[in-house]
Amino acid sequence: MKPACSYAATHAASLADPAAFWLRQAAHLHWDTPPTRPLSQDAQGFYRWFEGGELNTSFLCLDYHVQHGRGAQPALIYDSPVTNTLRTYTYAELLDMTERFAGGLRAIGVGLGDRVIIYMPNMPEAVVAMLACARIGAVHSVVFGGFAPHELAVRIDDAKPHAIICASGGMEFDRIIPYKPLVDEAVAKATHKPAHVVVCQRDFVTATLQPGRDLDYRKLLQAPPIAALPVPATHPLYILYTSGTTGRPKGVLRDHGGHAVALRFSMEAIYDLAPGEVMFTASDIGWAVGHSYIVYGPLLRGCTTVLYEGKPVRTPDAGAFWRIVAQHRARVMFTAPTAIRAIKKEDPEGRLAHKYELSCLRHLFLAGERCDPATFAWAQQVLGVPVVDHWWQTESGWPMLATLVGLEGMPPPRPGSAGHPVPGYDVQILDEAGEPVTAGTTGLVAVKLPLPPGCFPTLWNDDARFHEAYLATFPGYYLSGDGGYRDSEGYCYIMGRVDDVINVAGHRLSTGEMEEILAAHPAVAECAVLGIADSLRGQVPVGLVVLKDGQTIGEEALEKELVATVRARIGPLACFRTVLVVKRLPKTRSGKILRKTLRQLADGEAFAVPSTIDDPLILDEIRAGLQRRAVGLAYEASHPSQ
């Protein structure tokens, strides 16, 4: 039954007395030592939740449910059309694997606070590895499989892991991607050398093991089981790297206590899921969405989670998601708008959805990028259930804006809007001076401190960057990096990043990092990388480069080299495929590249040519170049049949 709580009262209570509000939420969990100080500040003024409390996230996700009669209930359904596997793990089975693998990790020297990098696709052994790290107080850092060895090496050098756990490979559509050679290359590149690489061999690709260093995942699974170690609530649970505005990723840190309290609350209030119900989150465990709503959220709540290894389309068709919902009786589904656009493209009438019995589904949640109203309307019409667009970031780890379907009196979702502030979040729209703007005016989206539990307390090993990147601009606020507005009825709209971060197919990438790579090419004098609107992926990066004097390399040859370099350095997920050689970049007379103008031009938006531009004609040249290369919505608008 729904809690008889109204959204307005709950949100107001969470802001009026955050410590009392969250202490009440914390009481729903099992604590080895109950917290004494719900909210405190450290010497630097950074907020901490539940100091003095001790618990263990792995215990809460597994042992607690087994001890309370859910041992025989499915905890995880592994559905993998790419490997033709379907397997259900009960809570008792998942606990058994986790406590053994935790024993195996400890036997190879992984101790409290040690870091472990996990480089695996969506497979049960990856979830077990995450939970096993949590069990012994080790700190996992999952790296998405689409990242290239260079990116993995950067993360190895930052996290300095005792061990890396990897799969021998992944399966993309019908193509095998061996992972182990990528790990070997990354370890060779990195300065820090992990003591061990633990390899989970898969049927379709066998990795070669380096004697001494490399170990077989399944051998570790045979270790004697060990109990969960109670750790301080503020102890790190994981580091998740995300793109910043430079080539150096940010290590977002998550703690045990605040995270568990926030996610349990969200499962009830935002997603309206009761223990025993099924959640299907179609994301990757390498992203925040995967951490929170494939792994930790559903398990903390005693739900059944579906772990899907496949794509929205072509595995085998655009009905894959609907088949899963029907087969596993999912109550809630969660994915990125890009996935829905991919399905819509292949099955515009939504015929495949009608093949399945979807009456079990209550809501479709979307996040990762703004959901355009057309995609919102299509999904709602095809599925016949409310669609909820909600906004969050790796940094928050759970939604900041949403329609909380588990609370009473919630205004219904509205296309284009990410909803209302979630309890705990005092979301404000500020102008450049840090003053709140009036309704309807676009500004910088910020959250008044303290951030609620679950949000990152700092960046791994970099308090200074945490302060500088998020807190320094407007004292007392967390600056999200997104722009948006609130309408007169309180609905919030997130319109996109205001920094050098773009969103490609729901994946967050740094244009700053791509520019660093392009600028290092010997023929390139200067460059700009833009996120250009794309009807499938939301945005795709496009490079504009100016050649050094005397360089004669052709556009095609240069593009080939730069595309290959970005792919090798960042990875295929960047989808960097287009380079235009231009005579000059449009700049102000003081030398600042007019990025906003370039974006507007590429997206076919009306814009006023800035009075400060040094050479207005360059814009025509770039527009012609984009149209010639058929990129951007400006092109699509002028060629609607393409």
Residues lying near ligand AMP in the complex (CB under 6 A): 242, 288, 367-370, 389-394, 418, 480-482, 494, 497, 503, 508
What is the spatial distance between Cα 369 and Cα 339, in angstroms, rounded to a whole number?
11
Q: Is 200 in the site for ligand COA (CB under 6 A)?
A: no
**Quick check: helix, strand or coil at residue 638?**
helix
Decide which of ligand COA, ligand AMP, none touches 634; Cβ closer than 5 to 8 Å per partner kind. Answer: none
One residue of 38, 53, 247, 368 binding ligand COA per CB under 6 A = 368
Whose tokens are 């309307």? That residue is 377
Decide which of ligand AMP, ligand COA, none touches 66; Cβ closer than 5 to 8 Å per partner kind. Answer: none
Window 249-278: contact mask with ligand COA (x via CB under 6 A)? ------------------------------
Decide which of ligand AMP, ligand COA, none touches 418; Cβ closer than 5 to 8 Å per partner kind. Answer: ligand AMP
N-terminal to C-terminal alpha carbon distance within the chain? 50
E-strand spans in 130-267?
139-142, 163-167, 169-172, 175-178, 196-200, 214-216, 231-232, 236-242, 250-255
Q: Considering beta carbons, is residue 70 or 254 the nearer one to ligand AMP?
A: 254
- In sign, the C-alpha dihedral spanning 573, 86, 342, 387 is negative
CB of 286 to ligand AMP, least distance (A): 10
One residue of 35, 302, 312, 484 binding ligand COA per CB under 6 A = 312
How many residues of this chain bind ligand COA (CB under 6 A)? 26
Q: Is 177 in the site for ligand COA (CB under 6 A)?
A: yes
Q: Is 455 in the site for ligand COA (CB under 6 A)?
A: no
Note whether 186 and 177 are within 8 A (CB). no
| Binding span for ligand COA by CB under 6 A among 69-77, 282-290, 482-490, 539-547 | 282-290
Q: Is 313 in the site for ligand COA (CB under 6 A)?
A: yes
What is the spatial distance between Cα 136 and Cα 102, in angstroms, rounded to a whole number?
7
Decide which of ligand AMP, ligand COA, none touches 90; Cβ closer than 5 to 8 Å per partner kind. Answer: none
Count Cβ atoms within 10 A of the Cβ of residue 191 and give its class: 0-12 exposed, 13-18 middle, 19 or more buried. Answer: exposed
Please give the full DSSP string across 538-567, using - where no structure is assigned.
EEEEEEEEEEPTT----HHHHHHHHHHHHH
Q: What is the per-residue burial (b if ≥16 Cβ within 10 Å, else e) of 15-41?
A: eeebeebbbebbeebebeebbeebbbe
CB of 418 to ligand AMP, least distance (A): 4
Half-sphere exposure of residue 206: CA atoms within 13 angstroms, side-chain side: 1
62: phi then psi, degrees, rounded to nearest 5: -125, -70
- DSSP letter (8 states) at residue 574: G
Decide which of ligand COA, ligand AMP, none touches 391; Cβ closer than 5 to 8 Å per partner kind. Answer: ligand AMP
| Backbone conformation region of residue 258, classed left if phi is above 0, alpha if psi is from -120 to 50, else beta | alpha
CB of 312 to ligand COA, least distance (A): 5
CB of 252 to ligand AMP, least distance (A): 8
Strand partners, 200: 167
Window 385-424: contact mask with ligand COA (x via CB under 6 A)? ----------------------------------------
Q: Considering beta carbons, is residue 148 or 524 the nearer one to ligand AMP?
A: 148
Note whether 285 and 291 are within 8 A (CB). yes
CB of 394 to ligand AMP, least distance (A): 3
Note whether 35 and 257 are within 8 A (CB). yes
CB of 371 to ligand COA, least distance (A): 11
One residue of 336, 429, 528, 570 binding ligand COA per CB under 6 A = 336
Please give the full DSSP string across 373-408, using - where no structure is assigned.
HHHHHHHHHHH-S-EEE-B--TTTSS-SEE--TTSB
| Binding span for ligand COA by CB under 6 A among 5-13, 76-84, 305-313, 589-597 | 305-313
Note whether 271 and 406 are within 8 A (CB). yes
- In sign, the C-alpha dihedral spanning 281, 286, 288, 292 is positive
605: phi then psi, degrees, rounded to nearest 5: -80, 150
| Backbone conformation region of residue 398, classed left if phi is above 0, alpha if psi is from -120 to 50, else beta | beta
| Binding span for ligand COA by CB under 6 A among 46-54, 129-137, 399-407, 572-580 | 572-580
Q: Considering beta carbons, is residue 103 or 368 the nearer one to ligand COA?
A: 368
Decide which of ligand COA, ligand AMP, none touches 481; Cβ closer than 5 to 8 Å per partner kind. Answer: ligand AMP
Residue 601 CA: distances (Å) to CA of 604, 627, 635: 5, 11, 10
| Binding span for ligand COA by CB under 6 A among 60-68, 207-215, 460-468, 571-579 | 571-579
| Binding span for ligand COA by CB under 6 A among 4-12, 196-204, 236-244, 337-345 | 337-345
Decide which of ligand AMP, ligand COA, none touches 482; Cβ closer than 5 to 8 Å per partner kind. Answer: ligand AMP
- In sign, the C-alpha dihedral spanning 439, 441, 445, 450 is negative
Q: Considering beta carbons, is residue 196 or 370 the nearer one to ligand AMP?
A: 370
Q: Is 108 in the site for ligand COA (CB under 6 A)?
A: no
| Binding span for ligand COA by CB under 6 A among 40-48, 66-74, 553-561, 568-576 | 568-576
**Residue type at 436 in one-letter notation:** P
| Backbone conformation region of residue 226, classed left if phi is above 0, alpha if psi is from -120 to 50, else beta | beta
What is the spatial distance between Cα 428 and Cα 478, in angstroms, rounded to a whole number?
10
Q: HEC profile for 290-355?
A: HHHHHHHHHHHCCCEEEEECCCCCCCCCCCHHHHHHHHHCCCEEEECHHHHHHHHHHCCCCHHHHH
CB of 335 to ligand AMP, least distance (A): 12
CB of 573 to ligand COA, least distance (A): 4
Q: Considering beta carbons, is residue 420 or 537 the nearer one to ligand COA?
A: 537
Q: Considering beta carbons, is residue 98 or 394 the nearer one to ligand COA?
A: 394
One residue of 25, 335, 394, 597 binding ligand COA per CB under 6 A = 335
Decide which of ligand COA, ligand AMP, none touches 394; Cβ closer than 5 to 8 Å per partner kind. Answer: ligand AMP
Helix crossing, 180-189 with 149-159: angle to 10°?
Answer: 60
Q: Considering beta carbons, is residue 249 or 319 the nearer one to ligand AMP?
A: 249
Decide which of ligand COA, ligand AMP, none touches 170; Cβ closer than 5 to 8 Å per partner kind. Answer: ligand COA
Q: Considering beta carbons, is residue 233 or 379 the nearer one to ligand AMP?
A: 379
Q: Is 505 in the site for ligand COA (CB under 6 A)?
A: yes
Q: Considering beta carbons, is residue 539 or 578 the nearer one to ligand AMP?
A: 539
520: tokens are: 């290092």
Kindly list the residues in this chain that would bind ligand COA in the complex (CB under 6 A).
121, 145-146, 170, 172, 177, 282-283, 287, 289, 311-313, 335-336, 338-339, 342, 367-368, 505-506, 536, 572-573, 575
